[in-house]
Protein backbone atom coordinates (compact mmCIF):
# COMPACT_ATOMS: atom_id res chain seq x y z
CA UNK A 1 0.00 0.00 0.00
CA UNK A 2 1.41 3.37 -1.01
CA UNK A 3 4.51 1.82 -2.58
CA UNK A 4 6.35 3.44 -5.47
CA UNK A 5 6.58 1.03 -8.41
CA UNK A 6 9.04 1.38 -11.29
CA UNK A 7 7.89 -1.16 -13.85
CA UNK A 8 10.64 -2.38 -16.20
CA UNK A 9 8.29 -4.49 -18.29
CA UNK A 10 6.29 -2.96 -21.11
CA UNK A 11 3.00 -3.31 -19.24
CA UNK A 12 2.41 0.41 -18.68
CA UNK A 13 4.40 2.08 -21.45
CA UNK A 14 1.62 2.42 -24.00
CA UNK A 15 -1.38 4.67 -23.36
CA UNK A 16 -3.65 2.78 -25.76
CA UNK A 17 -4.79 -0.55 -24.27
CA UNK A 18 -5.85 -1.74 -27.73
CA UNK A 19 -2.19 -1.99 -28.80
CA UNK A 20 -1.21 -4.60 -26.20
CA UNK A 21 -2.70 -7.71 -27.89
CA UNK A 22 -0.86 -6.96 -31.15
CA UNK A 23 2.51 -5.91 -29.76
CA UNK A 24 2.68 -7.65 -26.37
CA UNK A 25 0.39 -10.62 -26.85
CA UNK A 26 -2.05 -9.95 -23.98
CA UNK A 27 -5.22 -8.06 -23.18
CA UNK A 28 -4.42 -5.34 -20.65
CA UNK A 29 -5.97 -6.20 -17.28
CA UNK A 30 -5.77 -2.65 -15.86
CA UNK A 31 -6.33 -0.12 -18.63
CA UNK A 32 -7.45 2.36 -15.97
CA UNK A 33 -3.84 2.62 -14.80
CA UNK A 34 -2.35 3.42 -18.22
CA UNK A 35 -3.20 7.12 -18.01
CA UNK A 36 -1.99 7.29 -14.42
CA UNK A 37 1.43 5.75 -15.10
CA UNK A 38 4.27 8.24 -15.64
CA UNK A 39 6.39 7.40 -18.68
CA UNK A 40 9.82 7.62 -17.13
CA UNK A 41 12.06 8.97 -19.86
CA UNK A 42 13.88 10.73 -17.09
CA UNK A 43 15.27 13.78 -18.87
CA UNK A 44 11.79 14.79 -20.05
CA UNK A 45 9.68 13.71 -17.09
CA UNK A 46 11.31 15.08 -13.94
CA UNK A 47 8.31 17.12 -12.80
CA UNK A 48 5.86 14.27 -13.42
CA UNK A 49 8.17 11.84 -11.63
CA UNK A 50 8.25 13.73 -8.33
CA UNK A 51 6.05 11.76 -5.97
CA UNK A 52 4.86 9.39 -8.72
CA UNK A 53 3.57 6.00 -7.56
CA UNK A 54 3.57 4.10 -10.87
CA UNK A 55 6.40 4.66 -13.34
CA UNK A 56 6.69 2.93 -16.70
CA UNK A 57 10.40 2.56 -17.40
CA UNK A 58 11.05 3.12 -21.13
CA UNK A 59 12.28 0.44 -23.49
CA UNK A 60 15.95 0.37 -24.43
CA UNK A 61 15.48 1.10 -28.14
CA UNK A 62 13.01 3.96 -27.52
CA UNK A 63 15.40 5.59 -25.05
CA UNK A 64 18.18 5.64 -27.64
CA UNK A 65 15.85 7.26 -30.19
CA UNK A 66 13.69 9.59 -28.11
CA UNK A 67 16.55 11.21 -26.19
CA UNK A 68 18.15 12.84 -29.26
CA UNK A 69 14.97 13.36 -31.35
CA UNK A 70 12.44 14.86 -28.90
CA UNK A 71 14.46 18.10 -28.39
CA UNK A 72 14.78 18.61 -32.16
CA UNK A 73 11.05 18.13 -32.70
CA UNK A 74 10.25 20.46 -29.83
CA UNK A 75 12.55 23.09 -31.33
CA UNK A 76 10.94 22.73 -34.75
CA UNK A 77 14.16 21.78 -36.53
CA UNK A 78 12.93 18.63 -38.33
CA UNK A 79 11.16 18.92 -41.69
CA UNK A 80 7.73 17.38 -42.15
CA UNK A 81 8.20 15.97 -45.65
CA UNK A 82 10.34 12.91 -44.88
CA UNK A 83 10.03 10.06 -42.38
CA UNK A 84 12.27 9.69 -39.37
CA UNK A 85 14.17 6.48 -40.06
CA UNK A 86 15.50 4.67 -36.98
CA UNK A 87 18.04 1.96 -37.73
CA UNK A 88 18.89 0.38 -34.36
CA UNK A 89 21.26 -2.39 -33.36
CA UNK A 90 21.31 -4.20 -30.00
CA UNK A 91 23.44 -6.78 -28.27
CA UNK A 92 21.87 -10.15 -27.52
CA UNK A 93 21.01 -9.29 -23.90
CA UNK A 94 18.30 -7.05 -25.35
CA UNK A 95 16.31 -10.23 -26.04
CA UNK A 96 16.02 -11.00 -22.32
CA UNK A 97 17.24 -14.01 -20.36
CA UNK A 98 14.93 -16.70 -21.74
CA UNK A 99 16.92 -18.96 -24.12
CA UNK A 100 15.56 -19.21 -27.66
CA UNK A 101 16.80 -20.85 -30.83
CA UNK A 102 17.50 -17.46 -32.38
CA UNK A 103 19.71 -16.22 -29.52
CA UNK A 104 22.02 -19.21 -29.07
CA UNK A 105 25.69 -18.38 -29.55
CA UNK A 106 25.97 -20.39 -32.75
CA UNK A 107 23.03 -18.47 -34.25
CA UNK A 108 24.29 -15.00 -33.27
CA UNK A 109 28.06 -15.27 -33.62
CA UNK A 110 29.53 -14.15 -36.97
CA UNK A 111 26.17 -12.84 -38.15
CA UNK A 112 24.04 -9.69 -38.21
CA UNK A 113 20.31 -9.63 -38.86
CA UNK A 114 17.04 -7.76 -38.60
CA UNK A 115 14.06 -9.09 -36.68
CA UNK A 116 10.34 -8.45 -35.99
CA UNK A 117 10.03 -5.95 -38.81
CA UNK A 118 6.91 -3.73 -38.55
CA UNK A 119 5.78 -5.58 -35.44
CA UNK A 120 8.41 -4.89 -32.78
CA UNK A 121 6.81 -3.92 -29.47
CA UNK A 122 8.95 -0.79 -29.23
CA UNK A 123 7.59 0.69 -32.47
CA UNK A 124 4.35 2.09 -30.98
CA UNK A 125 6.30 3.30 -27.95
CA UNK A 126 8.63 5.30 -30.20
CA UNK A 127 5.71 6.78 -32.14
CA UNK A 128 3.95 7.68 -28.89
CA UNK A 129 7.08 9.32 -27.50
CA UNK A 130 7.40 11.45 -30.63
CA UNK A 131 3.74 12.44 -30.48
CA UNK A 132 2.85 10.59 -33.68
CA UNK A 133 0.05 8.09 -34.44
CA UNK A 134 1.11 4.45 -34.10
CA UNK A 135 0.31 3.68 -37.74
CA UNK A 136 2.02 6.86 -38.97
CA UNK A 137 4.49 6.46 -41.80
CA UNK A 138 6.44 9.35 -40.31
CA UNK A 139 8.56 6.87 -38.27
CA UNK A 140 10.26 3.75 -39.63
CA UNK A 141 11.94 1.57 -37.00
CA UNK A 142 14.20 -1.37 -37.90
CA UNK A 143 15.80 -3.41 -35.07
CA UNK A 144 18.90 -5.51 -35.63
CA UNK A 145 20.69 -8.13 -33.54
CA UNK A 146 24.40 -7.58 -33.03
CA UNK A 147 26.76 -10.47 -32.17
CA UNK A 148 27.82 -8.77 -28.91
CA UNK A 149 26.62 -9.12 -25.32
CA UNK A 150 25.39 -5.62 -24.54
CA UNK A 151 24.94 -2.16 -25.99
CA UNK A 152 22.73 -0.33 -28.47
CA UNK A 153 23.71 1.87 -31.38
CA UNK A 154 20.91 3.75 -33.15
CA UNK A 155 21.49 5.52 -36.45
CA UNK A 156 18.63 7.93 -37.11
CA UNK A 157 18.03 9.66 -40.44
CA UNK A 158 16.10 12.95 -40.54
CA UNK A 159 15.59 15.87 -42.91
CA UNK A 160 16.02 19.29 -41.35
CA UNK A 161 14.13 22.43 -42.19
CA UNK A 162 15.82 24.86 -44.58
CA UNK A 163 18.65 26.80 -43.01
CA UNK A 164 19.18 24.55 -39.97
CA UNK A 165 22.86 23.87 -39.33
CA UNK A 166 24.73 21.34 -37.20
CA UNK A 167 25.42 24.06 -34.68
CA UNK A 168 21.67 24.53 -34.20
CA UNK A 169 21.26 20.87 -33.31
CA UNK A 170 24.16 20.96 -30.87
CA UNK A 171 22.84 24.13 -29.25
CA UNK A 172 19.40 22.57 -28.69
CA UNK A 173 20.93 19.43 -27.23
CA UNK A 174 23.34 21.32 -24.99
CA UNK A 175 20.54 23.51 -23.64
CA UNK A 176 18.15 20.58 -23.18
CA UNK A 177 20.67 18.38 -21.40
CA UNK A 178 22.63 21.04 -19.51
CA UNK A 179 21.36 19.57 -16.23
CA UNK A 180 21.11 15.95 -17.42
CA UNK A 181 23.98 14.04 -15.78
CA UNK A 182 23.55 10.92 -17.92
CA UNK A 183 23.34 12.35 -21.44
CA UNK A 184 26.62 13.15 -23.20
CA UNK A 185 26.62 15.34 -26.31
CA UNK A 186 29.41 14.58 -28.79
CA UNK A 187 30.04 18.03 -30.23
CA UNK A 188 33.20 17.26 -32.21
CA UNK A 189 33.78 14.89 -35.16
CA UNK A 190 33.87 11.77 -32.98
CA UNK A 191 30.56 9.88 -33.09
CA UNK A 192 29.16 7.78 -30.23
CA UNK A 193 30.20 4.13 -30.14
CA UNK A 194 28.95 1.20 -28.12
CA UNK A 195 32.34 0.74 -26.49
CA UNK A 196 32.10 4.24 -24.99
CA UNK A 197 28.63 3.62 -23.51
CA UNK A 198 28.73 -0.07 -22.56
CA UNK A 199 28.83 -0.66 -18.79
CA UNK A 200 27.95 3.00 -18.16
CA UNK A 201 24.66 4.80 -17.34
CA UNK A 202 25.04 7.26 -20.23
CA UNK A 203 23.18 7.89 -23.46
CA UNK A 204 25.69 9.38 -25.93
CA UNK A 205 24.41 11.45 -28.86
CA UNK A 206 26.09 13.02 -31.88
CA UNK A 207 25.27 14.03 -35.44
CA UNK A 208 26.57 14.77 -38.91
CA UNK A 209 24.75 16.96 -41.44
CA UNK A 210 24.90 17.60 -45.15
CA UNK A 211 24.19 21.32 -44.94
CA UNK A 212 23.54 21.55 -48.68
CA UNK A 213 20.55 19.20 -48.46
CA UNK A 214 19.58 19.23 -44.79
CA UNK A 215 19.93 15.45 -44.60
CA UNK A 216 21.16 14.55 -41.15
CA UNK A 217 22.46 11.40 -39.49
CA UNK A 218 22.08 11.21 -35.73
CA UNK A 219 23.96 8.55 -33.79
CA UNK A 220 23.18 7.47 -30.25
CA UNK A 221 24.68 4.77 -28.07
CA UNK A 222 23.81 3.33 -24.68
CA UNK A 223 24.04 0.21 -22.59
CA UNK A 224 20.69 -1.57 -23.03
CA UNK A 225 20.94 -3.03 -19.51
CA UNK A 226 21.73 0.30 -17.82
CA UNK A 227 20.48 3.51 -19.45
CA UNK A 228 18.14 1.24 -21.41
CA UNK A 229 16.84 -0.41 -18.23
CA UNK A 230 18.29 -0.58 -14.69
CA UNK A 231 20.14 2.71 -14.24
CA UNK A 232 17.30 4.69 -15.80
CA UNK A 233 14.91 2.91 -13.43
CA UNK A 234 17.09 4.02 -10.56
CA UNK A 235 17.13 7.60 -11.88
CA UNK A 236 13.34 7.50 -11.93
CA UNK A 237 13.05 6.00 -8.45
CA UNK A 238 15.47 8.58 -7.05
CA UNK A 239 13.46 11.50 -8.42
CA UNK A 240 10.12 9.99 -7.39
CA UNK A 241 11.35 9.51 -3.82
CA UNK A 242 13.11 12.88 -3.55
CA UNK A 243 16.69 11.61 -3.65
CA UNK A 244 19.57 12.88 -5.76
CA UNK A 245 19.05 11.67 -9.33
CA UNK A 246 22.48 10.05 -9.47
CA UNK A 247 22.33 8.29 -6.10
CA UNK A 248 23.58 4.73 -6.45
CA UNK A 249 24.54 5.34 -10.10
CA UNK A 250 27.58 7.59 -10.10
pLDDT in tens, 26-46: 999 999 999 999 999 999 999
Residue 94 and residue 158 in one domain:
yes
Establish if 214 belongs to a structural domain: yes
User: Which residues constitute the domain of residue 52?
Assistant: 5-58+230-241
Q: What is the pLDDT of residues 205-240, one digit of tens each?
A: 999 999 889 999 999 999 999 999 999 999 999 999
What is residue 6's three-state secondary structure?
A: strand
Contact 198, 150 (CB under 8 A): yes
Residue 250 lies in a domain: no
Residue 244 to residues 54, 73, 230, 233, 241: CA-CA distances in angstroms? 19, 29, 16, 13, 9
What's the pLDDT at 110?
A: 85
Whether residue 118 is contained in a domain is answered as yes
Which tens digits make up the pLDDT trace of 116-173? Answer: 888 899 999 999 999 987 666 789 999 999 999 999 999 999 999 999 999 999 999 9
Please state, in angstroms and rounded to a whole number, the distance separating the CA atoms of residues 175 and 244. 21
Is 211 in the same domain as 87?
Answer: yes
Same domain, 92 and 48: no
- Please identify every residue annotated as catalytic: 60
Is residue 24 located within the same domain as residue 53? Answer: yes
71 & 83 share domain: yes
Q: Per the domain annotation, does 108 fall within a domain?
A: yes
Both 78 and 142 in a single domain? yes
Amino acid sequence: MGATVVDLSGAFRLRDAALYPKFYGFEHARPDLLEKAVYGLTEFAREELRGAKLIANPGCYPTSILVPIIPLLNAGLIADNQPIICDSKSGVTGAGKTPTATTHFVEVSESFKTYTLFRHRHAPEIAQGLGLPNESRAVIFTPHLLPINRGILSTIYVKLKDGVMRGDILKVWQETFADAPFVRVFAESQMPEIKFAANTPFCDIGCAIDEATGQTIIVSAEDNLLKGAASQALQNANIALGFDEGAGIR
